[in-house]
Amino acid sequence: MKKRRRLIVVLIVCAGLVLGVVLRWIGSSDQAGSEAQPAVTVRVGTARVGSIERVLSTSGTLSAGATIYLTSKISGRIDSILVREGQEVTEGELLIRIEEDTPRLQLEQAYAVWQAARARYDQALQGVRSEELENARALYEKAKRDLVTSEDRFTRSQQLFESGAIAKAQFEQAETELRGARTELGNAGRSLKMLEEGAGPEEKRMALAQAEAARANYELARLQLDFTRIQAPASGVIARILQDEGNVVGTTTPILVLFRDESMKVEIRAAEKYYGEISGAEQALQTRVYPLAYPDSPAFAGRILTVAPTVDPDSRTFNLTVDIEDPQGRLRPGMYAEVELVLQHELEALLLPRSAVVDREGRSIVFVVERTEEGAVAAERPVVSGLSNAREVQILSGIEAQQRVIVEGNTFLENGQRIEVSEGQ
């Protein structure tokens, strides 16, 4: 029993000695390896102050700022179409002629009626001419003489009828002539009195109303003639011609489609998470549009017109309408374009290349260059980042401007590791 205990003690002591030798060997090997580890070659950059944006990029299809369907204001036959599809036109330019024969005849007729009504009104204002007055007096005197003659004839006829010398029919004829003479004298007297007194206020008002009505009919006829000439209501491009010359069109028949090209728009969609940033800030957000048709052109300036009041529950997106400035008329409906909405813009931000920032266990760090007696080493610095784009990232804290930061070769660097800075770009 005692021999077995001694054996166990001896084995434990031997195992301890062997373990110590192994540990000393491993330590010496690690030290030798560490001393032999080469420096990591890195490239460095300098933190700079500049501007940076946070941009929402999306795309859409252009459409005209306004689409105008031109129709005729009168029914008629198309006499001529003076433009072609794709042609640029200016406001007021003549586009279509409608046959004008009937409207022109109606205008001439309305003008004649108006002039006649004006003449009657002028006559009512100025009174009767002396020749007309003398003629009325002569007619009145003649009617008086005719009445005296008719009375004498009636008296003789009555005496002859009572004596049986003439038939009753001859007496009745004399009686009828007497009544007619009396009527003629009354009419002539009233006409003479009206001419001597002139037109009354009521007659003048009636003549004026008739003249004004005739003038309104003339203006309407002239407007109908003007409607035979269809002009461009605004500058734009003729998109489509829907009718041919010779076709009869009504007031609801579209003839041309006009796109207004000084203003274009694009419909885009944005994710729901941006709704709070965009809604209510439409006028403040800068918008840039890059049409695929002009890859080398500077961005077209845009402005958010509308933001949809609802979010699509299926796609979790919402619609926006962007108005595009196109003073040269280069854009066309149907073009594809990339659209950038500048959500944030910092003018004086401390910037580093994106490659300079390394993520370590959820922390953002950068490595700066420090000089020691043994040479240059990488020194870890925790940073807080802000805005970023495809090339750079904003640093809110952790480093200062002009500080040298490792931008390449930092993927597997450790704090305090020896480095060799490569010169050049």
What pLDDT, in 10s, does the model give residues 357-370?
999 888 899 999 88
At 45, is the secondary structure helix, strand, or coil? strand
Does residue 280 have a pLDDT over 90?
no
Strand residues in 65-175 grouped as ranges (E): 67-71, 76-81, 88-89, 94-98
The gap from C-alpha 53 to its chain's centroid, in whole angstroms, comes to 29
pLDDT of residue 208: 81
Nearest to 62 by CA among 284, 360, 332: 332
Which stretches does DSSP call E strand in 225-279?
229-231, 236-241, 248-249, 254-259, 263-271
Instruction: Give the Cα separation of 183 and 188 in Å (integer).
Output: 9
List pLDDT tens digits, range 222-257. 999 999 999 998 888 888 899 999 999 998 999 998
* Residues 380-400, mean pLDDT to the nearest whole number: 89
pTM: 0.49
Please count the other Cβ atoms lying within 10 Å of the Cβ belonging to residue 71: 15
CB 92, CB 86: distance < 8 Å: no
pLDDT tens digit sequence for 310-324: 999 999 999 999 988
**Predicted pLDDT of residue 21:** 44
Give the model confidence (pLDDT) of 34-61 as tens digits. 444 578 889 998 888 999 888 899 999 9
Range with top average pLDDT, 148-157, 160-169, 416-425: 148-157
Measured CA to CA in angstroms, residue 267 lies from 289, 337, 416 at distances of: 12, 10, 54
Q: pLDDT of 122-140, one tens digit each?
A: 766 666 667 777 887 888 8
Separation between Cα atoms, residue 258 and residue 265, nearest integer Å: 15
Full DSSP string of 81-98: E---TT-EE-TT-EEEEE
Domains belonging to the chain, first-starting first, are 37-50+348-421 (2.40.420.20), 55-65+260-347 (2.40.30.170), 68-99+228-259 (2.40.50.100), 106-224 (no CATH)
- How confident is the model at residue 196, as a pLDDT? 64
Q: What's the number of CA atoms in the CB half-sphere (13 Å) around residue 89?
A: 26
Half-sphere exposure of 377 (CA within 13 A, CB side): 12
Model pLDDT for residues 188-204, shown as the tens digit of each residue: 877 776 666 655 677 77
